[in-house]
Amino acid sequence: MQEISDVRYLSRRVAGLKPSGIRKFFDIAATMKDVISLGIGEPDFTTPRPILEAGIRSLQAGETHYTSNSGKLEVRQAVADNLVKLYGVKYDPVNEIILTVGVSEALYLTFTAILDPGDEVIIPTPCFVSYQAEVILAGGVPVEIPSRFEDRFQLDPERIRAAITPKTKAIFVGYPCNPTGAVAERETLQQVAEMAIEHNLLIVSDEIYDRLVYNFQHVCIPSLGDEIKKRTILLGGLSKAYAMTGWRIGYACGPAEIIKGLVRIHQYTIMSAPTTAQDAALEALRNGEPHVQEMVAEYDRRRRLIVEGLNSLGLVTFEPRGAFYAFPRIAASGMDDEVFAEKLLQEEHVAVVPGNAFGLGGEGFVRCSYATAYEKIEEALHRMEKFMTRYG
């Protein structure tokens, strides 16, 4: 009989995946008392009451069954209506939109649907930790293109062009950006989109933070023109703007042929996004705007506090115009980002995430989330001041 130790349990693909650099810091922080976490990537707000109540009503009405694989049509219609209202972008809710279990699932479906083994996806970094992993899980190859502080963490069209090979299948775009807080400028997006047309590539655009922008008008990539829309898979979701991370609702929009592929995978893996959450999402999409505005105003207040505070400590911070992260350069401390985050946690009980967790270009920075109470940010800055007095 074959020994258990001879059996390769995990596929090479899975065994080779790096654990997320974010988790490690949460695990250490969880063992300590009195930690202020600026490490968190989700709203500190509870889901607004009317949205929550829509979920409760749904359960009480006995809405406890599967829905259509693509999700309830009225919710897809509400996603479509919102995209028209916000960006003038039209998708047919019947065959161009699928509701997913967060953008996380939408990423998985998208890459599994479009990639053959060895296909390359160009991914500007630093970026959300799942992109590279999802590409690898789908058998593809992530090609990281670092963006730079000096360029306000914008896409660099020339570096993207230089990375295109005959194996390139898609260019990934993720703005507003986690972890830098950068927003994408229209002209740069236009250049990258034209490059995709020229080289016959797809664009995958994660716009989950589209509503969390500060004195900036978000540019939705498919709004740049029909030719671009035809080759774009737009991903979005309710987790961030409506404080609904635990409900798990996201969506993917794109050409019917591609969405059909996503639905095929989804029907064999997920069946349908959670029904209660779909009903709550409907309330959010139809009537949630005042709550979004209220939360954005509070994030903005915290954003100004943290950016000014970090800069005054010599931790040079680019002004984030989107999402809820500040991304200071920590060179003044004389440490690398990993040591900085570890010492800050051990000595001052403030948790931040080392920038290298977000891919190339993140080294030398740390991510500080301001999705935490104003007073806690004040206290975190106070502790960081003590830290920088010792090391700065």
**Quick check: 174 binds ligand PLP (CB under 6 A)?**
yes
Nearer to ligand PLP, 96 or 206 (CB): 206
And the tokens for 348? 């001052």
239 binds ligand PLP (CB under 6 A): yes
| Site mask for ligand PLP (CB under 6 A), range 198-217, x = bound | --------x-x---------
Shortest spacing between CB 239 and ligand PLP, in angstroms: 3
Rounded-to-integer distance, Cα 25 and Cα 251, Å: 30
Complex with ligand PLP: residue 251 or 340, whichever CB lies closer: 251
Tell me the site size for ligand PLP, rule CB under 6 A.
13
178, 350, 387 from 344: Cα distances, Å = 21, 6, 7
Identity of the residue, 104 or 154, whose beta carbon is nearer to ligand PLP in the bound complex? 104
User: In angstroms, what is the minimal distance from the CB of 42 to ligand PLP?
Assistant: 7
Contact 263, 70 (CB under 8 A): yes
Nearer to ligand PLP, 232 or 333 (CB): 232
Select the residue whose beta carbon is closest to ligand PLP and give its number: 102
Nearer to ligand PLP, 145 or 313 (CB): 145
The DSSP-derived string for 121-179 is EEEEES--THHHHHHHHTT-EEEEEE--GGGTT---HHHHHHH--TTEEEEEE--SPTT
Which runs of E-coded beta strand occur in 24-107?
36-37, 97-100
The DSSP-derived string for 332-377 is GGTS-HHHHHHHHHHHH-EE-EEGGGG-TT-TTBEEEE--S-HHHH
Q: Where in 85-114 is the site for ligand PLP (CB under 6 A)? A: 102-104
Q: How far is the CB of 301 from ligand PLP (least distance, A)?
A: 21
- Smallest gap from Cβ 178 to ligand PLP, in A, equals 4
Q: Which residues pair with 122 in a beta bridge?
A: 143, 171
* The only residue of 39, 41, 142, 254 in contact with ligand PLP, by rule CB under 6 A: 41
Residue 46 three-state SS: coil
Please identify, using beta-carbon distances, which residue of 128 and 153 lies nearer to ligand PLP: 128
Single residue of 87, 128, 153, 358 touching ligand PLP by CB under 6 A:
128
Q: How far is the CB of 250 from ligand PLP (least distance, A)?
A: 4
Residues 6+ apart with CB under 8 A from 22: 39, 41, 129, 353, 357
Q: Which is nearer to ligand PLP, 179 or 309 (CB)?
A: 179
Q: Does 178 bind ligand PLP (CB under 6 A)?
A: yes
User: What residues does 124 pair with on adjacent strands?
Assistant: 145
CB 382: neighbour CB atoms within 10 A?
Answer: 14
| 10 burial level (CB within 10 Å; 0-12, 13-18, 19+) | exposed
**According to CB under 6 A, which residues from 240 to 259 bind ligand PLP?**
245, 250
- Based on CB atoms, which residue is closest to ligand PLP, 202 or 388? 202
Q: Which residues bind ligand PLP (CB under 6 A)?
A: 41, 102-104, 128, 174, 178, 206, 208, 237, 239, 245, 250
